[in-house]
Amino acid sequence: MTIKVGDQVPHAVLMKMTQDGPAPVDTNDLFRGRTVALFAVPGAFTPTCSAKHLPGFIEKAGEFAGKGVDEIVCLSVNDAFVMGAWGKSSGAEDKISMLADGNGDFSKALGLTMDGSKFGMGTRSQRFSMLVKDGKVAELNVEEPGAFKVSSAEHLLAQL
């Protein structure tokens, strides 16, 4: 079942690269009592994700903060090492939290996975964005396969 507006975000443990290596991020702690803009991409370093999706959120990070967003999270079914490297190479550090859903457990719990097997990628997250307020989904924007419109930084900002 796919998560919807009003639902509680499921519990999972994601990973984030730190100076000391990968560290766990508990979604209960991430979302509790906070407003978080989360966007998910099918893969780090992939064309649309690197050229459009992540750069839009980097560029608009200040605007999100100005509208009360405590943190912006980029999520992908990649490992913490890849997400850390992608964040560093894209200039996302200090603006976007690059979180790894390595086994896809969180994406599966959200009901927002896709089959990227024909591209050699296996099960990945669909492209989407959501606004989470105190652990509940306030806005949810899921892209049609191959599209990039409703999950953009601009679209999510307009919903604030």
The catalytic site residues sit at: 49
What is each CA distance from 18 to 5, 84, 120, in whole angstroms? 32, 8, 28
What is each CA distance from 149 to 68, 86, 114, 144, 146, in whole angstroms? 23, 22, 18, 9, 10
Q: Find where tokens 């492209």 sit.
A: 127
Residue 143: CB atoms within 10 A of its CB come to 20
> What CA–CA distance (Å, rounded) separates 65 from 83?
22
